[in-house]
Structure formats: C-alpha cells, structure tokens
Amino acid sequence: MKVSIIMPAYNEAATIAEMIAKVQAVDVGCSKELIIVDDASVDGTSEALKSFRGVSDVHIIFHEQNRGKGAAIRTALAHVTGDIVVIQDADLEYDPEDLPRLIHPIVSGRADVVYGNRFHGEAHRVLYFWHSVGNGVLTLACNMLTNLSLNDMEVGYKAFRADVICGMRLRSDRFGFEPEVTAKIAKLGCRIFEVPISYYGRTYAEGKKITWKDGVAALWCMVRYRISD
C-alpha cells in the first residue's frame, strides 16, 4: 500500500521546509509520496521548494497563476500514484505525526474517507470565538443537507481512498473544496470515519488566510453540490 500526500502551498516560505521534513520523517507503515503544488507564491516559497527538486518521492508542481487551494488539489490529484490520498496543509497547523491515525481506518478496510476532528480528544490551540461559531454553523448546515453527523466538516486534514477522490469531478478553486468534497462523498454513500487530531491553529498575523467570505462561499457550495454536480 502507498500513501500520496498532497500539499497545496501559497506563501508558506516560513514553514514549507519544516513541514516537508516532518512528512518525510513520519512512519505511516507503508511507502509514501509527497506531491507539492506551489500556487504561484510571491514570498519565497517557490525558491525554497527548488532545493527539494530531485528528492526521492517528492514531486513539485508550480502554478503560474494563483488559483486557490481547491485548484492546487486538483492539479496534484492528476499525479497521484498511491492507494490513499491525504491532504496536508503546508502551514504546520496539522501535525504529520497524526498521519498513521488518520489513515488507519482506510488501511484496515473499514473506511473510504477519514476526517480529522480538531476539537475532541487531542490538544488544540485556543483562538477565535467567531471562527468556532462559523465552523459550527457550517458543519451543522452540511450535516442537515447531507444527513451526516460530522463534528468538523471544515477540517483541512482528510484522507481518502485514492479511487474515491480521483474519480470525482471537483470544481471548487478555493476553500470550497471542503464542502464540495463532503457533499459528493455523501452522495456516493462512502463509509466515513472521524479521528481526533491535534491542531495548532495560527492567527492572521501568522499567515492565516481563510476569511468570513470563504464561509459564505462554503454555504453556497454546500447547496450547489448537494443539488447537482
């Protein structure tokens, strides 16, 4: 079995090298590959990534224009050769030490998709109240539309059987990837598990990018992709 770890990156020069090292160091119990898509960064991320060219099982792709996280994931999916696909952000909010736990329900044959859960069972950094409210509203709305019982729909740490996610026709370019993929796996009747993960959220001063506008867009994505493709 092989794990393909997709890492979309935009302006993550301060963390990208450390995150790559963490991913390379973690033992997931099988072979792995790292597919990094630099989404036209302007802060030196592209230059930092050039030093990893030629490194075994590290594949680097550069977007000429900034297109968003969802677009970067779609680009990476075209290069996946593994049996399991994991989305791993480049900003150190999610710890690669949780990777074995995240993929275990798929490896054991019990799940098709696994969502991390940032807020139950493991350490997490305490940050913005209104972000937690927004996350709760989005998760509730998603559960109502899909008849799922997720605790953390917007979590960025997700694992998929490769045939499940690579067989989807994904459209969202930005953070709409999360509600879109959730709506589509619900339609497919996938076996979904949640596992607790640690979460080291960052502030806007530290580089956080998602805003309230992305929350509004997520609500629209839920309705759109629940009704149609």
Domains of the chain as residue ranges with CATH: 2-227 (3.90.550.10)
Work out the number of other CB atoms within 10 angstroms of the CB of residue 33: 17
- SS3 of residue 178 by DSSP: helix
What residues contact 96, with CB distance under 8 A and at least 6 apart? Answer: 19, 22, 23, 25, 26, 88
Average pLDDT, the chain: 89
Query: Does residue 218 register a pLDDT over 90?
Result: no
- Which band of pLDDT confidence, cut at 50, 70 and 90, is reported for residue 119? confident
What residues contact 134, with CB distance under 8 A and at least 6 apart? Answer: 212, 215
For 45, list phi and psi in degrees, rounded to 5.
Answer: -60, -45
Residue 207 has what pLDDT? 59
CA distances from 126 to 22, 95, 156, 202 (A): 23, 16, 17, 10
**Residues above pLDDT 90, as percent of the chain:** 63
Residue 142 has what pLDDT? 87
What sign has the CA pseudo-torsion 16, 21, 24, 25? Answer: negative
Smallest Cα–Cα separation from 75: which of 90, 59, 89?
A: 59
Encode pLDDT of 13-68 as tens digits: 999 999 999 999 999 999 999 999 999 999 999 999 988 988 889 999 999 999 99
Q: Quick one: which H or E segment has residue 144?
A: helix 129-146
Whole-prediction pTM: 0.87
Residue 109 has what pLDDT? 96
- Which band of pLDDT confidence, cut at 50, 70 and 90, is reported for residue 2? very high
Q: Vertex 22, ends 113 and 153: CA angle to 5°?
A: 30
Could you tell me if 194 and 154 are in contact, meaning their C-beta atoms sit under 8 angstroms apart?
A: no
